[in-house]
């Protein structure tokens, strides 16, 4: 009599357990992600295994991070700087890693206003001496850019969050800042860099990367819309070069190139009251600019030889002599530039809003 009762009890218990298990599976089924997809989210077809908290956070950060645009192989700031592997600053007897670059004001300067924002104290208007290093130094011999007095940089989003005070202390007296390209792209760091350079005491200017698949007047309008007209700013720059990585593969004829450049530059000159500066690279210059625009200031790229060898018929105002500069003010590499003149000429030109041509500079 007791055995059948025990058996019945066991059977009843098993039935209850089965019902409880089924309810649990139903709950799991309700929590599984749907196999449906939307235009923006692809859902997994199977449950996702549990992920440790640290990995989950890292994954969320990676998903939220913006996708960088590809770097161009040459040219201004974004072409060959921060997209390269970031080197450690090498040991140097002149500037050990543990020391800040020395701050040395020019003897001409009568300091009138002390600045201390974002870096060591310095005097407004002073010419900061060269203190950069180079990951790929070139020996220019007697024509070394170090013999010239006024050095500067050009930057874009690829330099990230710039410490402008440190950059100035290391020898940056001016900065050209990427503003726009084409007719609809604004560098996301432009306004932050524009304000930061000014606060640290650098002379600042903006540049536009010219897009050969867009109407020139539209590009000028876009630049004017985004770059403030400010007293004391350096003249605007038009960056003209061939860019094989661009979605625009068009290479107009020399006549069309010169026509489009003229339209763009005329519109900027009318708005800002300053003659634009032309930045270019050796191959583009050879294809289009030899013998043209002699009444415009030029900013030339020459990272292996002196500009007199690369652009023998051209007077130049700025020389971009390195794309691999090292500074405590940025993480990674930065373009280095120099003004073609002495301190007196720099003060006359920059103080006049860049309106004075440097035709007499050898």
- 304 or 50, greater pLDDT: 304
pLDDT value at residue 213: 95
Q: Read off the DSSP letter of residue 259.
A: H
Residue 55 vs residue 144, higher pLDDT: 144
So which residues are the catalytic ones? Answer: 241
Please tell me which residue, 103 or 19, carries the higher pLDDT value. Answer: 19
| Structural domain includes residue 238 | yes
Non-local (6+) Cβ contacts of 338 within 8 A are 145, 148, 150, 151, 152, 318, 319, 321
**Residue 7, in any domain of the structure:** no
Question: Phi, psi at residue 3, to the nearest 5°?
Answer: -60, -50
Please give the residue that has the higher pLDDT: either 9 or 294: 294
pLDDT at residue 77, as a whole number: 57
Determine the Cα–Cα distance for residues 357 and 167; give it in Å rounded to an integer.
27
User: Is 160 part of a structural domain of the chain?
Assistant: yes
On the question of pLDDT at 145 being above 90, the answer is yes
Grade residue 243 by pLDDT with cuts at 50, 70 and 90.
confident
Q: How many domains does the chain have?
A: 1
- Look up the CATH number of the domain holding residue 217: 3.20.20.80
Q: Is residue 20 part of a domain?
A: no
What gap in Å lies between CA 354 and CA 328, rounded to an integer? 29
The angle subtended at Cα 70 by Cα 68 and Cα 72, nearest 5°, is 135
Please state, in angstroms and rounded to a whole number, the distance separating the CA atoms of residues 214 and 263: 12
CA distance 134 to 132: 7
pLDDT at 264: 98
List pLDDT tens digits, range 331-343.
Answer: 899 999 999 999 9
Print the domain residue range for 244. Answer: 114-351
Please check whether residue 187 lies inside any domain of the structure: yes
pLDDT average, residue stretch 259-288: 98
Number of neighbours of residue 9 by Cβ within 10 angstroms: 10
Question: Given a cut of 90, is residue 95 above it in pLDDT?
Answer: no
Structure tokens at 200: 């640290």
The per-residue pLDDT of the chain, averaged, comes to: 75
- pLDDT over 70 percentage in the chain: 63
331 secondary structure, DSSP code: S
Q: Is the pLDDT of residue 18 over 60?
A: no
pLDDT tier at 9, thresholds 50, 70, 90:
low
| β-strands 122-123, 114-115 pairing | antiparallel
* Six token digits for residue 109: 């300067």
Mean pLDDT of 206-232: 97
* Residue 302 maps to a domain: yes
The token pair at 177 is 């800042």
Looking at the predicted structure, is the pLDDT value of residue 22 above 80?
no
Place of tokens 């390209």: 181
Q: Residue 56 pLDDT more than 50?
A: no
Determine the Cα–Cα distance for residues 112 and 105; give it in Å rounded to an integer. 12
Instruction: Determine if the pTM surpasses 0.75.
Output: no
User: In the prediction, which pLDDT does 52 show?
Assistant: 41
Does residue 189 belong to any structural domain of this protein? yes
In angstroms and rounded to an integer, the radius of gyration of the C-alpha atoms of the chain is: 30
3-class state of residue 277 by DSSP: strand
**Is 62 part of a structural domain of the chain?**
no
What average pLDDT does the segment 229-247 reach?
92
φ, ψ for residue 112, nearest 5 deg: -120, -25
């Amino acid at each position: 009599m007791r055995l059948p009762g025990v058996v019945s009890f066991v059977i009843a218990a098993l039935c209850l357990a089965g019902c409880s298990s089924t309810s649990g599976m139903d709950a799991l089924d309700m929590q599984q992600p749907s196999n449906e997809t939307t235009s923006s989210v692809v859902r997994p077809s199977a449950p996702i295994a549990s992920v440790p908290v640290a990995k989950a956070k890292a994954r969320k950060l990676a998903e939220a991070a913006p996708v960088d645009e590809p770097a161009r192989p040459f040219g201004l700031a974004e072409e060959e700087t921060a997209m390269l592997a970031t080197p450690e600053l090498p040991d140097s007897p002149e500037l050990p890693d543990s020391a800040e670059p020395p701050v040395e004001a020019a003897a001409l300067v009568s300091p009138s206003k002390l600045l201390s924002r974002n870096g060591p104290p310095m005097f407004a208007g002073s010419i900061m001496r060269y203190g950069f290093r180079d990951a790929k130094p070139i020996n220019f011999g007697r024509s070394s850019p170090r013999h010239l007095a006024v050095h500067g940089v050009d930057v874009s989003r690829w330099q990230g969050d710039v410490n402008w005070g440190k950059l100035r202390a290391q020898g940056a007296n001016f900065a050209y800042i990427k503003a726009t390209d084409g007719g609809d792209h604004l560098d996301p760091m432009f306004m932050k860099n524009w304000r930061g350079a000014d606060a640290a005491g650098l002379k600042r200017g903006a540049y536009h990367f010219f897009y050969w698949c867009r109407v020139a007047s539209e590009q000028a309008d876009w630049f004017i819309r985004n770059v403030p007209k400010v007293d004391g700013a350096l003249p605007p720059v038009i960056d003209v070069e061939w860019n094989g990585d661009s979605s625009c593969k068009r290479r107009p004829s020399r006549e069309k190139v010169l026509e489009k450049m003229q339209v763009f530059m005329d519109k900027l000159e009318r708005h800002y009251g300053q003659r634009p500066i032309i930045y270019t690279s050796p191959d583009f210059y050879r294809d289009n600019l030899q013998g043209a625009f002699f009444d415009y200031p030029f900013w030339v790229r020459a990272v292996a030889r002196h500009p007199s060898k690369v652009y023998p018929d051209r007077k130049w105002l700025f020389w971009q002599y390195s794309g691999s500069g090292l500074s405590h003010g940025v993480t990674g590499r930065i373009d280095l530039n120099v003004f073609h003149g002495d301190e007196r000429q720099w003060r006359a030109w920059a103080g006049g809003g860049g309106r004075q041509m440097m035709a007499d500079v050898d």
